[in-house]
Amino acid sequence: MNTEPWRVCLSDMTVGQEEIAAVTDVLLSRWLSAGPVSSAFEQEFAKAMGIPDAVAVSSGTAALHLALLALGVGPGDEVIMPALSFVAAAAMTVAVGATPVFADVVAPDDLTVDPADVATRVTGRTKAIVAMHYGGHAADMTTLKTLAARHGLYLIEDAAHAPLVRHGEGMLGGLADVGCFSFHATKNLTTGEGGMVVAADPEVAARCRAARSHAMTTTSPQRDRLGALTYDVTGLGFNYRPGEMASAIGRVQLAKLPSDRAVRAGLVARYRERLASVPGLTLPFARRTDPDCAYHLFAVILPPGMDRDRFRESLRLARIQTSVHYPPTHRLSHYRGETTLPVTDGLADRLVSLPLHARMSHADADYVVEQVSAALDPAS
């Protein structure tokens, strides 16, 4: 991210000399497209998750696309997902010919999809549910899994915000039929652009792996180095392969994830402690007691009636970068319909994400708190 002209930017990455060295090694190897480094990244990611396999791809969006295809979601099907999310799951649902159905979130202090609301939206056409772990906080997977099982639906985890978060017996992304991760530049583990798909059923993982590279029966390294002479194409596929430079960055970032997460956790604790006394501000997830979280975002909800643009402008003038996660998908022009979602609609114009990243200091967090308090003070 370009961190200028901010004093505290919204997100930043921890890339440094180790990533530079890893990329340099790839360049010197003269094999830049998907190959051994990407395979090693997959194996290390799968090992860290405690699962047998993972499929590296070119983005989180590609991961979602492959997940839907591999589960056989297609024309006539409906996929239920939270509107309070990034548009990728809805877009990929449309891309496979299915219809996104938007569901509400639990409450202002829990911005994950509400299983009770999901249940009211299940029809004879529903094929899958997408749960998104907002900001790295787990959606209610136990209830969603029970619901999915009762109706014979697939459950997909959009774990773009939640790499390697322990949850119960497993890890987020590894609890349902398919889990999709993003390694976009703003994510906790970044490769610039990239993603990963994991699947409970090895056949689903194999379908994702095949479709990632045009469903060709041999890979480019197999043809170049291992003597395969040609290939067949056995299905519909795409070029969703990761590049070796991205995967090399990913391997280093994977190793850094625990220490980066500890920094994020400390900042969130600091924010929570200092913002708790700021009148009118709602702090989502403040009552959560999950043992693990990715601490990807720190969203706050402004008091009702407060002009969000004005609030954000005050922070911009203090050189603090903010964002909104997310403009709800059911209100975007392309997806707008009749759906009303009381909780999401009630907070959509009040959500603001404050800076959170592993290069921030507690002094930065304190400065943000000071400026947030000033921007909220009616006397200022």
Ligand X SMILES: Cc1ncc(COP(=O)(O)O)c(C=O)c1O
Catalytic center residues: 187
Please identify, among the stretches 12-20, 67-75, 155-163, 360-368, the one whose residues bind ligand X according to the rule CB under 6 A.
Answer: 155-163
**Cβ proximity to ligand X, 59 vs 188, nearer residue:** 59
Task: Tell me how far, at minimum, the Cβ of 214 lies from ligand X, in Å.
Answer: 19
**Cβ proximity to ligand X, 83 vs 369, nearer residue:** 83
Binder among 19, 42, 117, 158 for ligand X (CB under 6 A):
158
- State the Cα angle at 230 between 225 and 236, rounded to 5°: 110
Say which residue the tokens 């830049």 belong to. 32
Say which residue the tokens 């999915």 belong to. 148
- State the Cα angle at 151 between 150 and 156, rounded to 5°: 100
Is 132 a binder of ligand X (CB under 6 A)? yes
Is 375 a binder of ligand X (CB under 6 A)? no
Please identify, among the stretches 41-49, 141-149, 154-162, 309-317, the one whose residues bind ligand X according to the rule CB under 6 A.
Answer: 154-162
Phi, psi of 378 (to 5 degrees): -60, -20
DSSP string, 290-343: -S------EEEEPPTT--HHHHHHHHHHTTB--B-S---GGGSGGG--S---HH
Is 295 a binder of ligand X (CB under 6 A)? no
Binder among 34, 55, 88, 196 for ligand X (CB under 6 A):
88
Is 253 a binder of ligand X (CB under 6 A)? no
Site size with ligand X, rule: CB under 6 A: 13
Is 284 a binder of ligand X (CB under 6 A)? no
**Cβ proximity to ligand X, 242 vs 270, nearer residue:** 242
The pair of structure tokens assigned to 41 is 């990244």
- State the Cα angle at 54 between 74 and 297, rounded to 5°: 85
Binder among 137, 167, 184, 261 for ligand X (CB under 6 A):
184
**Cβ proximity to ligand X, 86 vs 154, nearer residue:** 86
Residue 169, beta-bridge partner list: none
Please identify, among the stretches 84-92, 98-106, 136-144, 205-213, the one whose residues bind ligand X according to the rule CB under 6 A.
Answer: 84-92
CA separation for the pair 64, 312 (Å, rounded): 32
Task: Tell me how far, at minimum, the Cβ of 307 lies from ligand X, in Å.
Answer: 26
The total of other beta-carbon atoms located within 10 Å of residue 226's CB is 9
Binder among 6, 86, 271, 285 for ligand X (CB under 6 A):
86
Binder among 11, 14, 182, 190 for ligand X (CB under 6 A):
182
Cis peptide before 295 (omega within 30 of 0): no
**Cβ proximity to ligand X, 63 vs 372, nearer residue:** 63
Is 355 a binder of ligand X (CB under 6 A)? no
Task: Tell me how far, at minimum, the Cβ of 119 lies from ligand X, in Å.
Answer: 22
Residues 205 and 98 sit within 8 Å (Cβ to Cβ): no
Residue-wise over 193-207: b if at least 16 C-beta within 10 A, else e?
A: bbbbbbbeeeebbeb
**Cβ proximity to ligand X, 285 vs 367, nearer residue:** 285
Binder among 35, 60, 250, 284 for ligand X (CB under 6 A):
60
CA separation for the pair 319, 321 (Å, rounded): 6
Please identify, among the stretches 80-88, 163-171, 260-268, 335-343, the one whose residues bind ligand X according to the rule CB under 6 A.
Answer: 80-88
CA separation for the pair 332, 334 (Å, rounded): 6
Binder among 11, 14, 38, 85 for ligand X (CB under 6 A):
85
CA separation for the pair 106, 51 (Å, rounded): 30
E-only strand ranges, 114-254: 126-132, 154-158, 166-167, 170-171, 178-182, 195-199
**Cβ proximity to ligand X, 162 vs 275, nearer residue:** 162
Is 61 a binder of ligand X (CB under 6 A)? yes
Binding site for ligand X (CB under 6 A): 59-61, 85-86, 88, 132, 158, 160-161, 182, 184, 195
